[in-house]
């Protein structure tokens, strides 16, 4: 496991989304990273 530096704004967005979606901040960050990874791997899906 490693550390990832993110902006304060992104952290605030993660915190808000994690509360709304009942996830931990780490789980929310992983969820968004997974979505971004899949979007880049499959650009035709947009």
Collapsed DSSP state (helix, strand, coil) of residue 26? helix
pLDDT at residue 45, as a whole number: 84
pLDDT at residue 1, as a whole number: 80
Q: Looking at the domain assignment, is residue 3 inside a domain?
A: no
13-46 pLDDT tens trace: 999 999 999 999 999 999 999 999 999 999 998 7
| Residue 11, CA distances (Å) to 1, 2, 22, 24 in order | 18, 16, 16, 12
Q: Looking at the domain assignment, is residue 33 inside a domain?
A: yes
Number of domains in the chain: 1
7-20 pLDDT tens trace: 999 999 999 999 99
Q: Looking at the domain assignment, is residue 12 inside a domain?
A: yes
pLDDT at residue 44, as a whole number: 93
Q: Which residue's entry shows tokens 């901040």?
A: 25
Q: Looking at the domain assignment, is residue 19 inside a domain?
A: yes
| Residue 28, CA distances (Å) to 22, 23, 32, 36, 43 in order | 9, 6, 6, 12, 22
């Amino acid at each position: 496991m490693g550390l990832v530096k993110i902006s304060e704004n992104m952290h605030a967005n993660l915190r808000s989304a994690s509360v709304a979606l009942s996830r931990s901040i780490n789980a929310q960050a992983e969820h968004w990273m997974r979505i971004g990874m899949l979007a880049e791997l499959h650009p035709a899906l947009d």
